[in-house]
Amino acid sequence: MANQVIVGALFWEGTSQVRPLYFDGQHFSHWKVRMKIYAKAYDVKVWRVIKKGNFPLPASAQPLADPEDVDSYTNEQMAVVQVNNKSRNLLYNAIRGEEYEKISSCDTTKEMWDKLEVTYKGTSKVKETHINMLVHDYELFQMKEGESIEEMFARFSKIISDLKAFGKPYSSGDQVRKILRSLPTTWQTKVVTLESQDLNKLSYDELWG
């Protein structure tokens, strides 16, 4: 009966050639093995990206003025970008929404895969170590010299997202207070104005907006 449940979970969405095996937060070890087989059959280079990281963009005779301008890519560069993006798309389409939230802050497919492994397969000691590192980053968080407010919020959001993924979320009020304490003195007037409000009613998203 247990095996039937596992098999049923593995095949719920995802036996087609197009859509990968679906992970709903259960039976990670089984999903991981089958996902490896699926990814390698889909494109062995995609599996390489998942396990080892993105292929670097090959150099061109003319340096790219804008790395996001795909029209300026050589055929070789385009092929590399397609493989890197295919791997990310494959993994995104293999997990449900709740699992996506746990890896949405990751920059590469390898980071996404590693996060899933630690979250669902890591020992308690490994998870505790990751949580302690993230809490340390949270507690010592400060705006860096020369950092824009957008860059600071992006960095803070990644820490918050990672902590939530490991089951240690901070309330919106705590996040707002932490951000205000992290700003340099040049922001003092704005901080004083915000602190005069009820910070428990001011959401992190409203602060950022």
- Residue 104: count other Cβ atoms within 10 Å of its Cβ: 15
Per-residue tokens: 195: 């602190």
CA distances from 119 to 75, 114, 162 (A): 38, 9, 10
Per-residue pLDDT 10s for the chain (209 aa) are 444 443 344 334 444 455 677 898 888 878 888 899 999 999 999 999 999 999 998 876 566 656 677 777 888 888 999 999 999 999 999 998 888 888 888 989 999 999 898 888 776 777 788 889 999 999 999 999 999 989 999 999 989 988 887 778 888 888 988 988 998 888 888 877 877 676 666 776 667 65
> 10: burial class by Cβ within 10 Å (0-12, 13-18, 19+)?
buried
CB 176 within 8 A of CB 204: yes
